[in-house]
Structure 1
Amino acid sequence: MGGAVRDQQQQLHPCDSLLLELNVIWDEVGEPDTVRDKTLLELEQECLDVYRRKVDQANRCRAQLRQSIAEAEAELAGICSAIGEPPVHVRQSNQKLHGLREELNAIIPYLEEMRTKKVERWSQFVHVLEEIKKISSEIRPSDFVPFKTPVDQSDLSLRKFEELTKELESLQKEKRERLKQVMDHLNTLHSLCEVLGIDFKQTVHEVHPSLDEAEGSKNLSNTTIERLALAVDRLREIKIQRMQKLQDFASTMLELWNLMDTPIEEQQMFQNVTCNIAASEHEITEPNTLSIDFLSYVEAEVLRLEQLKGSKMKDLVLKKKSELEEHRRRAHLIGEEGYSDEFNIEAIESGAIDPALVLEQIEAHIATVKDEAFSRKDILEKVERFLNACEEEAWLEDYNKDDNRYNAGKGAHLTLKRAEKARILVNKIPGMVDVLTTKIIAWENERGKEFTYDGVCLFTDTSFLNGVCFSFFLEVYS
């Protein structure tokens, strides 16, 4: 019988087989029906509980798959919308899908691809945004509020990226223009600091600490540019003031050199000073040319020359007086001095007259004589030619009186040639007199005084000219 039961069990469902085996056992044991019924009810309830758990588990799995599909589709749609690409509809594009798992597995590749695109696009956005942040902090630090990378990634479209790129390009252009301004100011400041002997790094550090750094970005704000421009203007004003001071020293130095006949070798020591006497502000570029130390050095030399001038004042007055007399001699103004009392050496030595004032008066007289000489130049040249003609006329008269003038002898041909030239020149005397007389009359009318030659009036003093020359003057003047 046991074999028959086993065969029957093999033909039944596992649960029915186990139930049959349980009944056999109960029969052998003599289990009461109430106990059997209770046990069967318990077994049935346990089976229902297992089925319910499995159903609940399957239901949750289905819900999760549906939720994952919805989330994947939503994320896919969101990414497509964010990066500006058309939406992807996996269900519509694939009608042969069976079950939720296949549907989810079909969406995943598209989703991964779009996620990669979004990450790449976001990296581009981050790079541009960081550049915008960096440049904004450099050129507009007062208005700039540090910002973190935006977390809103809902708009990563190419249109938005182009807007940010254009904004970045605009900021880059503005940065280039500001950097050029800053570098121009820095170059100008460097040149000015070199000329003035001022510490360049300290100067720019006072404007902004970032400017004296060789590496790293520089502050390019409006405030920095304005402060740089003010620093340039301030140093340029200092340069102009010092340049004028140096040129004043140079002028004084040249005057003292000329006054005291300073040797060229000594003057060459300060050639870099005198060469800038007429230079404009932009032409003075040599380092330390206008430094305080160099100006003090030049000033000390000027003071030394001034002291030397004071010790040599008497010699200077005599020298200038001789120079004045030489100018008067060349202009044939001898006999019109009238200034001996002004330049009295005894008065200078006694301290009754300021030697510097005397030098100024002599310089004024020299300037007047130079002006007078210039106005007399043409007449003096004609007087010299006239006097030369008179000398030749006198020589010719003596020659004509010589009975041996035609005798052949050594140099006779040269004397004959001179006689021929003298006759030609003497024949020009009337014309010379006419021209000279006209010039002198015009000069006297213009100046309102007589024209004198070494104190002699040409038309009234017969001691000035001799013979026929003076007769020509009398004839024309009368």
Structure 2
Amino acid sequence: MGSLRTAGTAQRLALPETSSTYLLQELKMIWDEVGQEENERERILEELEQECQEVYRRKVNSANMSRIQLHQALAESEAEFTNLLLSLGERSFPGRPEKMNGTLKEQLNSITPALQEMQMKKEARLKQFTEVQTEVQRIASEIAGRSENEVVTVNEDDLSLKKLEEHQSELQRLKREKGDHLCKVEEYKVLICNFAKIMGMDPSNVLASVHPSLLIGANEQQKKNISDDILNKLNTMVQQLKEEKNHRLEKLHSLGKALTNLWNILDTTMEERQPYGQINIFSLTSANGMLGPGSLRLEKIQQIESEVQRLDQLKASKMKELFIKKKAEIEEICKISHMDVPYQTEMDNIMELIMSGDVDHDNLLKTMDGYIYKTKEEATSRKEIMDKVEKWITSCDEERWLEEYSRDERRYSVSRGAHRHLKRAERARIIANKIPD
């Protein structure tokens, strides 16, 4: 028995372990040495055969699955390549093989480089679309005044050059529109600053009241709010400042006229007028004229207004004196012209208004000047009649003297001064003869 085992061991060492035939022979030798029953041997051999079939079946299934996967990968690659061509808007690609020959692996290997190149081209094109659309959205958001937090979504189904050019054209249009908005913003800022300086305002405060971003310097224009809403607000602010400027200028014109009128009425000295000398220049300036910084400052207008009020009060205190002076002028004209004083009731009423303080001084002076003018006209129209009356009275006086002289019995006596009486009597006769019947 020991010799047989030794011999069997030697044979096993001599047989190649990888050969199923030799392994089967070695198994039979072992069975022979052991004395394995025939039934058991058949059962074991059947199990071995079934196990081998299972191994072969698995290998076949695995190979078939690999073939299916290669077919699917090849079909997917071809479909993806076709979709890439459609997405990029291209009809063909030079690197793609025209005919697919060889094994499945060879066919897949032949299309893979072209597919990878197309994928890289799509990634580059997609990056271009993303950059352009991101810039379009950013500028559009600036113009519309929206937030820039929106995510850009690129339609990967259409990445053609034609579509890219459309987005680039839209980007150029938005850039031009943004440039126009920036120019308008700067124009409005210049107008606001000019108006603010003329009226003594702080331009920064005015701009900040519209939007804080307007205080950003010109080198940071990309951060400014340039939306349509901001342009409308800037336009509204410009109109408000323009109206305020015109209002102040009109008020300054009115104050200038009032101040000049008061100076003339009160005979104000040039020394007293000097601090307000520029008021005449401003009052002659039109709304579109050149005005220096602070020309329409509110404090300056209030200062002039206070001076007008002060002079107006001073004029009120002198108004009674002026009224009495003009009334005396009327009475003097009437006295010389032998007229009754006209407008007596009206002037009494004016005096009562002066005493009560409820009177328009400018209208008062105009009214009195009008009374004086009309009185002078009346006196002028009576002058010819008054001259005739004066002559008639003089003639009557001469006639009366002549009658008295004629009754005097000593008129012919020689005495001192008799010759003067004779000459007067002769002149009196001439005048008396001219008296109308």
State the one-letter code of the partner of 2:224. Answer: S
Q: Which of residues 256, 259, 262 is equivalent to 1:253?
A: 259
How far apart are the structure 2 equivalents of 1:281 and 1:295? 16
Q: Which of residues 277, 292, 298 is equivalent to 1:271?
A: 277
State the one-letter code of the partner of 2:113. Answer: P
Check if 1:196 corresponds to 2:203: no
State the one-letter code of the partner of 1:109. Answer: P
- CA 1:73–1:268 in structure 2 vs 1: closer, same or farther (change >3 Å)? farther
Aligned match of 1:292: 298
Say whether the 8 Å CA contact 2:130–2:154 is kept in structure 1.
no
Aligned match of 1:49: 54
Check if 1:31 corresponds to 2:43: no
Say whether the 8 Å CA contact 1:76–1:114 is kept in structure 2.
yes
How far apart are the structure 2 equivalents of 1:90 and 1:338? 129
Say whether the 8 Å CA contact 2:178–2:226 is kept in structure 1.
no
State the one-letter code of the partner of 1:114. Answer: M
How far apart are the structure 2 equivalents of 1:186 and 1:359? 49
How far apart are the structure 2 equivalents of 1:310 and 1:129? 76
Matches within 5 A, 1:191-340: 191-198=194-201, 200-201=203-204, 203-205=206-208, 207-208=210-211, 210-212=213-215, 216-221=223-228, 223-310=229-316
How far apart are the structure 2 equivalents of 1:234 and 1:338? 63
Say whether the 8 Å CA contact 2:133–2:167 is kept in structure 1.
yes
Say whether the 8 Å CA contact 1:210–1:219 is kept in structure 2.
no
Cα deviation, 1:172-200, whole Å, max 9, x if unaligned, reads 33333333333333332332233334454
State the one-letter code of the partner of 1:130. Answer: T
- What's the CA shift for 1:72? 2.3
- CA 1:104–1:26 in structure 2 vs 1: closer, same or farther (change >3 Å)? same
- CA 1:4–1:153 in structure 2 vs 1: closer, same or farther (change >3 Å)? same
Cα deviation, 1:29-72, whole Å, max 9, x if unaligned, reads 11111111111111122222222222222222222222222222
Matches within 5 A, 1:438-477: none
Larger Rg belongs to: 2
Say whether the 8 Å CA contact 1:179–1:220 is kept in structure 2.
no
Matches within 5 A, 1:91-240: 92-93=97-98, 98-140=102-144, 148-198=151-201, 200-201=203-204, 203-205=206-208, 207-208=210-211, 210-212=213-215, 216-221=223-228, 223-240=229-246
Structure 1 residue runs of 5 or longer lacking an equivalent are 325-335, 369-447, 450-478
Say whether the 8 Å CA contact 1:191–1:285 is kept in structure 2.
no
Say whether the 8 Å CA contact 1:133–1:146 is kept in structure 2.
no
- CA 1:353–1:50 in structure 2 vs 1: closer, same or farther (change >3 Å)? closer
Three-state SS of the structure 1 residue aligned to 2:79 is: helix
- CA 1:182–1:4 in structure 2 vs 1: closer, same or farther (change >3 Å)? closer
How far apart are the structure 1 equivalents of 2:117 and 2:106? 18
State the one-letter code of the partner of 2:194. Answer: S
State the TM-score, normalized to the length of structure 2: 0.65
State the one-letter code of the partner of 1:63. Answer: I
State the TM-score, normalized to the length of structure 1: 0.60
Say whether the 8 Å CA contact 1:252–1:302 is kept in structure 2.
yes
How far apart are the structure 2 equivalents of 1:7 and 1:220? 94
Aligned match of 1:78: 83
Cα RMSD for the two superposed structures: 4.6
Three-state SS of the structure 2 residue aligned to 1:164 is: helix
How far apart are the structure 2 equivalents of 1:109 and 1:9? 49
- CA 1:54–1:89 in structure 2 vs 1: closer, same or farther (change >3 Å)? farther
Matches within 5 A, 1:418-437: none
Say whether the 8 Å CA contact 1:84–1:157 is kept in structure 2.
yes
Say whether the 8 Å CA contact 1:91–1:103 is kept in structure 2.
no
How far apart are the structure 1 equivalents of 2:278 and 2:128? 60
Three-state SS of the structure 2 residue aligned to 1:289 is: coil
Aligned match of 2:66: 61
Aligned residues: 354
Structure 2 residue runs of 5 or longer lacking an equivalent are 1-6, 330-335, 355-360, 375-379, 382-437
Say whether the 8 Å CA contact 2:84–2:122 is kept in structure 1.
yes
How far apart are the structure 2 equivalents of 1:297 and 1:225? 36
Say whether the 8 Å CA contact 1:204–1:212 is kept in structure 2.
yes
Say whether the 8 Å CA contact 2:188–2:234 is kept in structure 1.
yes
- What's the CA shift for 1:100? 2.8
Say whether the 8 Å CA contact 2:97–2:110 is kept in structure 1.
no
How far apart are the structure 2 equivalents of 1:248 and 1:338? 43
How far apart are the structure 2 equivalents of 1:250 and 1:352? 30
User: Which stretch has the larger CA shift, 285-294 or 247-256?
Assistant: 285-294
Three-state SS of the structure 2 residue aligned to 1:281 is: coil
Say whether the 8 Å CA contact 1:90–1:106 is kept in structure 2.
no
- What's the CA shift for 1:169? 2.3
Say whether the 8 Å CA contact 1:249–1:298 is kept in structure 2.
yes
State the one-letter code of the partner of 1:99. Answer: T
Cα deviation, 1:133-177, whole Å, max 9, x if unaligned, reads 2232233459x9985322530101010111112222223333333
- CA 1:285–1:132 in structure 2 vs 1: closer, same or farther (change >3 Å)? farther
- What's the CA shift for 1:22? 0.9
